[in-house]
Amino acid sequence: MTDTQPLPDYSRFYRHTGSLHRDLVSALKDSAPSPTPRRFLHIVNHIHMDESKQLARAQKVSWESMRRSRAYTMQFQTDLVIDLLATGFAEDRPAIPQGFIPVAELSRKASDLFDFNTPRPLPLLFDILERGRDHHLATRAEGVRDYIILTNADIAVLPHFYSYADWLIGMGHDAVIINRREIDDFSEDVANLAAMQAEMGTDHPGLDCFIFPADWMEDFVRSDSIIGTGMVMRSLLFNLIAKADNPVAILDAHATFHIGIDPDTGIQHYRDYEAHNMAECLKVIAALETRPGVRDRLQRFVHDTREHSWLPDGILGVRRPQPGPLSRLLRPVKQRLKRMLSS
């Protein structure tokens, strides 16, 4: 990006499939999608845990869905290479899924690094991403563009997932976020995967599937955001916005799914994890906005989307309206009601 390059229109960053697909096809009706050979490096954090746990069953569904989608895609897209990568802590090694390439283990845990009210041995976002980057650096091929795909451990994919991601990139999007759909938790048995994939489910606003060029990692500002807690992906999102010329977040694609409704990651027990991730994102923003042209881009993004809703006053030009006299008068009443409801 140069200082004179026009800023992207982030009011069209979050898109629904119907209008997005029509726009893409219309824009490129007289030309073919980009023919650049691509390789997807789809990395997941596998976890070795008791089979009675919901996550243990859900991640097996996710792994099998990825294996099937890879096999389905590579039958007819012989120029698209898909590497399934798995990383975890040393104690997770017995859970490396079949058909996945084991990459370097994780070593840092949130419970060892930070002081939280409820210690949890969770991995760090960028530690996982860097394992994907290292695989890219060690195995890259001339003339092939590598893309990292990151999904949470319990996010499963549809058979056309990799083909769809490849199509979106070929149609000009340099960074893609695909929001999951949530389906009924009628089963967590791999034997019922076809039925799960057939369910349309419902939209979910969470950011849990990212696709971007692997070589961008060299320009990213890393964070110590913690996986499995609220606001974890915001530091990655702002890195992408600083780098991408045509990013898109797709709200309703039938491409990934999650079984059941996730518990609220922002509940009181883990509120300090969410605050930590928000603070890490603010550090990333502070570092990124010192780069030429990036502050204008980030500022446009937060004002064209709802990202301004959580940013503190003064960050990237965010200005909160000052409370009027009536609001100040009612504040003690609201605080008292809040205490009564929480007691």
Q: By the 8 A CB rule, do 229 and 269 touch?
A: no
First and final CA of the chain: distance in angstroms? Answer: 52
pTM exceeding 0.85: yes
Distance between CA atoms of 132 and 136, rounded to whole angstroms? 6
- 46-73: average pLDDT: 93
> pLDDT of 298-328, one tens digit each?
999 999 998 989 999 999 998 876 666 666 6
Q: Which domains does the chain have, with CATH numbers?
A: 10-342 (3.90.550)
Confidence label for 88 from pLDDT (cuts 50, 70 and 90): very high
Spell out a b/e string for 162-195, using b for 16 or more CB atoms within 10 Å of the CB, else e.
bbbbbebbbbebbbbbbbbbbbeeeebebeebee
Distance between CA atoms of 214 and 212, rounded to whole angstroms? 6
Confidence label for 262 from pLDDT (cuts 50, 70 and 90): low
Distance between CA atoms of 121 and 85, rounded to whole angstroms? 21
pLDDT of residue 55: 87
pLDDT of residue 54: 85
